[in-house]
């Protein structure tokens, strides 16, 4: 195609941008259906024990209340798949206990406050550090909890050793859009749900499982997501509650979680304990890495945070012993949060590498290059592509790393201590099967359909670009429909998979449709190319033309109109081999200023260099990388959820007390995209950008703080009391 890839990679403005800034983009809670009622979830107020009785008399007496649904409601007792939705035995504070359904939200909220519950409660165990001796390697976690190669014990007398404990706290996602569901049942027993989710397919499957109905009888729709960061990646009970409430009252029900409920109803990043031991020879070559990792989880479910992955694979080392264990507590289940495992785990390995560099009196970048891993030594496979050295070089040059005085506390800007820190960033280049449909009508307009999601990452835009380029049409002729289970199936948007997975499927469907158009041009009697072999034809700007004479052309619209007015193709993205390891890499460079009197830390400069395959849209790509870095700065300096150990209850459950970065906290963040071609990673050669930006970021901040002050903080977040201790 003569104009192939003219759009892919270009900084095309978001095609959904106008809808969003004008208020035309509808999120889950903004959908309304006729005769809709409103639900408010009532939660447990004790951390552990049992529910002795629930008295909803006062709540039901309130004018406008339709029903109060508890575990004893007949809709639940008659549907075995729903028996676990509401608590009888309390496992954590904030567990769902009942739902009040009323004519409007205000009445439902007031009625929820009138429900009276009697409990038999017990003291909770919510302090992970108090029971670290009970940490155990989990069975059936779905992850590899132990990774070993060589013999760590054989390295008895290394020239240098770093043996330290690093900790990260519980964190909560706090997207701008809280979870919400609007559920309705049709007369023939089918369920339609508008849900704030990162995966419409998984949400539908979960609902079908609970209500014991076919997957095809559930339709989930979510055209716009107001952020997720992982908390909308898994199905959560509130969506089932909305659907059962609608079934119980015989009316559609809208249910939206409050900000406070978002802290107990849809997971969190778990607290971690990370004991790392690095040993090297006198030159700095790593001889052994031992990582003993622990994270909290609930008593009911097993969630293993893969914090040891980075320690096992980032650097070349013959002797590695990584274990990942769990401590079970009286808390709600943790879940994925942006770069799960890698965000937390990169803090320990990248801090430890910085500590080793200072012990060796070696430049931190030099130490990392010295221990560069050319292959993935955990899998014994070559990388499909790896441009990390280029990231180190580009980032260091742009940042001005050579100006760094290696002595901690030696650099000043007026009265402020200045520090430089850096870290490696890495995240898997994930890819999963997806399907897409491409259609063109007799006017030349194109419709792309794919059951993926757009969390605000730019999926609408990059899919438009891929379709336009691979089909050979202008982008304003392309309309993209996504996030609906009635569309071709695609995976959930998590693990930085959407661009690669949905993008490959859309490209394949567009290429297939282009082939059908070329066939029409070559066979239609009225076509100027009738009888011309397809290989002698090309396409562009919605036209088919002869390669030998581009002025001789025919419009797609004309060909399709003669063929019946519509042409379509549905395809899946091709698979990839098992002969390579697939990974993204980058380098983070951070400058901080530390107030010597108050211990306050301010990030003043940032450069991040990343190699992530082919760029689909440079504007949205840089936005994702920059957003990840901002997330990482928050992780390093601010984010922490506090627990009341007596009541087993999170206490800073609002955005006034749960601190996240605001504009004043973030400097100009410069992002460098290092060119990289990868013919193996997936059919379109891209690696996801949503999560790699946060990896290594917290460590880069901590390393910069050490360089500025000589104070090593190993317990996130880095607050002024820790700097001054």
Q: How far apart are CA 543 and CA 538, in angstroms?
A: 8
Q: How far apart are CA 258 and CA 131, in angstroms?
A: 32
Outline where DSSP puts E strands in 612-660. Answer: 643-644, 649-650
pLDDT for res 565: 97
Query: What global pTM score does this model have?
Result: 0.97
- Is the model's pLDDT at 260 over the cut of 80? yes
**Mean of pLDDT over the chain:** 97
Q: How far apart are CA 510 and CA 438, in angstroms?
A: 6
Q: Give pLDDT tens digits for 140-149.
A: 888 999 999 9
- Is the model's pLDDT at 545 over the cut of 90? yes
Q: Are 241 and 96 in contact (CB under 8 A)?
A: yes
Q: What is the DSSP letter of 383?
A: B
Q: Residue range 555-578: average pLDDT?
A: 97
Q: How far apart are CA 427 and CA 439, in angstroms?
A: 35
Please report where in the chains the tokens 């008659």 appear, as a residue. 78
Percentage above 70 pLDDT, the chain: 99
Beta-carbon-side half-sphere exposure of residue 396 (alpha carbons within 13 Å):
19
Residue 278 parent element (H or E) = strand 272-280
Q: Are 317 and 324 in contact (CB under 8 A)?
A: no
Q: Are 307 and 295 in contact (CB under 8 A)?
A: yes
Contacts of 30 (CB under 8 A, 6+ apart): none
Q: How far apart are CA 234 and CA 230, in angstroms?
A: 8
Contacts of 589 (CB under 8 A, 6+ apart): 395, 396, 398, 399, 401, 420, 421, 422, 606, 607, 608, 609, 700
Q: Which residues are catalytic?
A: 691
Evaluate the CA torsion angle 400, 401, 407, 412 in order and state its sign: positive
Q: How far apart are CA 266 and CA 243, in angstroms?
A: 17
pLDDT for res 140: 86
Q: What is the DSSP letter of 313?
A: H
Q: Give pLDDT tens digits for 193-242.
A: 999 999 999 999 999 999 999 999 999 999 999 999 999 999 999 999 99
Work out the pLDDT band at 66, boundaries 50, 70, 90: very high
Q: Residue range 475-485: average pLDDT?
A: 98
pLDDT for res 1: 42
Work out the pLDDT band at 3, boundaries 50, 70, 90: very low
Q: Which two tokens stand for residue 216?
A: 């095809």
Percentage above 90 pLDDT, the chain: 98
- Is the model's pLDDT at 577 over the cut of 80? yes
Q: Residue range 116-145: average pLDDT?
A: 96
Question: Could you tell me the domains of the chain?
Answer: 31-123+173-263 (3.30.365.10), 272-430+579-724 (3.30.365.10), 432-572 (3.30.365.10)
Closest by alpha carbon to 206, among 229, 232, 172?
232
- Is the model's pLDDT at 4 over the cut of 80? no
Q: Which two tokens stand for residue 458?
A: 């730019």
- Is the model's pLDDT at 121 over the cut of 90? yes
Work out the pLDDT band at 369, boundaries 50, 70, 90: very high
Q: Give pLDDT tens digits for 669-723.
A: 999 999 999 999 999 999 999 999 999 999 999 999 999 999 999 999 999 999 9
Q: Are 49 and 122 in contact (CB under 8 A)?
A: yes
Q: Residue range 515-534: average pLDDT?
A: 97
Residue 484 parent element (H or E) = none
Q: How far apart are CA 425 and CA 693, in angstroms?
A: 7
Q: Are 232 and 179 in contact (CB under 8 A)?
A: yes
Q: How far apart are CA 45 and CA 42, in angstroms?
A: 9
pLDDT for res 6: 85
How many separate helices (H) and strands (E) can be counted in the chain? 16, 31
Work out the pLDDT band at 5, boundaries 50, 70, 90: low
- Is the model's pLDDT at 52 over the cut of 50? yes
């Amino acid at each position: 195609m003569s104009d192939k890839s003219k759009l892919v990679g270009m900084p095309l403005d978001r095609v959904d941008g106008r809808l969003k800034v004008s208020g035309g983009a509808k999120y889950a809670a903004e959908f309304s259906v006729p005769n809709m009622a409103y639900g408010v979830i009532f939660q447990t107020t004790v951390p552990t024990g049992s529910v002795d009785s629930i008295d909803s008399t006062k709540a039901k007496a309130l004018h406008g209340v339709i029903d109060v649904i508890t575990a004893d409601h007949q809709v639940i007792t008659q549907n075995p798949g729903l028996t676990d939705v509401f608590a009888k035995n309390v496992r954590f504070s904030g567990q769902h206990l009942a739902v009040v359904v009323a004519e409007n939200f205000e009445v439902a909220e007031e009625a929820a406050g009138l429900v009276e519950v009697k409990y038999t409660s017990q003291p909770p165990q919510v302090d992970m550090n108090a029971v670290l001796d009970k940490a155990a390697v989990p069975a059936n976690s779905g992850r590899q909890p132990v990774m070993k190669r060589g013999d760590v014990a054989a390295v008895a007398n290394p020239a240098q050793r770093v043996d330290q404990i690093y900790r990260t706290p519980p964190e909560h996602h706090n997207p701008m859009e809280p979870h919400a569901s609007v559920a309705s049942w049709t007369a023939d027993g089918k369920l339609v749900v508008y849900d704030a989710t990162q995966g419409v397919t998984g949400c539908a499957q979960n609902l079908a499982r609970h209500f014991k109905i076919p997957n095809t009888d559930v339709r989930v729709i979510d055209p716009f997501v107001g952020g997720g960061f992982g908390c909308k990646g898994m199905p959560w009970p509130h969506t089932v509650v909305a659907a059962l409430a609608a079934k119980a009252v015989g009316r559609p029900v809208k249910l939206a979680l409050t900000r406070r409920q978002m802290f107990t109803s849809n997971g969190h990043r778990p607290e971690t304990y990370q004991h790392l031991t690095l040993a090297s020879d006198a030159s700095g070559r790593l001889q052994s890495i031992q990582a003993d990792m622990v994270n909290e989880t609930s008593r009911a479910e097993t969630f293993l945070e893969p914090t040891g992955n980075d320690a096992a694979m980032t650097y070349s080392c013959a002797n590695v012993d990584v274990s990942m264990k769990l401590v079970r507590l009286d808390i709600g289940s943790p879940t994925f949060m942006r770069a799960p495992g890698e965000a937390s785990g990169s803090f320990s390995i990248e801090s430890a590498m910085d500590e080793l560099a200072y012990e060796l009196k070696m430049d931190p970048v030099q130490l990392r290059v010295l221990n560069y891993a050319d292959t993935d030594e955990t899998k014994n496979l070559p990388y499909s592509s790896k441009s990390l050295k280029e990231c180190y070089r580009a980032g260091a040059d742009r940042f001005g790393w050579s100006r760094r005085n290696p002595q901690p506390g030696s650099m000043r800007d007026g009265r402020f201590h200045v520090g430089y820190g850096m870290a490696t960033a890495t995240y898997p280049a994930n890819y999963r099967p997806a399907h897409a449909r491409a259609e063109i009508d007799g006017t030349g307009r194109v419709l792309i359909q794919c059951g993926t999601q757009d969390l605000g990452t730019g999926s609408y835009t990059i899919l438009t670009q891929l379709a336009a380029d691979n089909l050979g049409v202008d982008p304003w002729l392309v309309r993209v429909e996504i996030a609906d289970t009635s569309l071709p199936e695609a995976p959930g948007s998590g693990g930085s998979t959407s661009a690669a997975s949905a993008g490959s499927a859309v490209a394949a469907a567009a290429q297939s449709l282009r082939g059908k158009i070329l066939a029409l041009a070559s066979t239609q009697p009225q076509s100027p190319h009738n009888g011309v072999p397809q290989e002698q034809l090309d396409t562009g700007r919605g036209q088919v033309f002869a390669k030998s004479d581009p002025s001789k052309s025919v419009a797609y619209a004309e060909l399709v109109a003669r063929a019946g007015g519509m042409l379509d193709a549905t395809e899946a993205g091709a698979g990839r081999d098992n002969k390579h390891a697939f990974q993204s890499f980058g380098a983070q460079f951070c400058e901080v200023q530390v107030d010597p009197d108050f211990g306050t830390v301010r990030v003043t400069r940032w450069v991040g260099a990343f190699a992530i395959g082919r760029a689909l849209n440079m504007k949205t790509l840089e936005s994702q990388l920059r957003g990840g870095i901002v997330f990482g700065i928050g992780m390093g300096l601010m984010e922490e959820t506090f627990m009341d150990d007596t009541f087993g209850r999170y206490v800073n459950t609002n955005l006034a007390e749960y601190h996240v970065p605001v504009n004043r906290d973030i400097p100009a963040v410069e992002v460098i995209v290092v060119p990289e071609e990868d013919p193996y990673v997936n059919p379109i050669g891209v690696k996801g950008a949503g999560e790699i930006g946060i990896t290594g970021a917290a460590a880069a901040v901590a390393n910069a703080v050490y360089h500025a002050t000589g104070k090593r903080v190993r317990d996130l977040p880095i607050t002024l009391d820790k700097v001054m201790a």
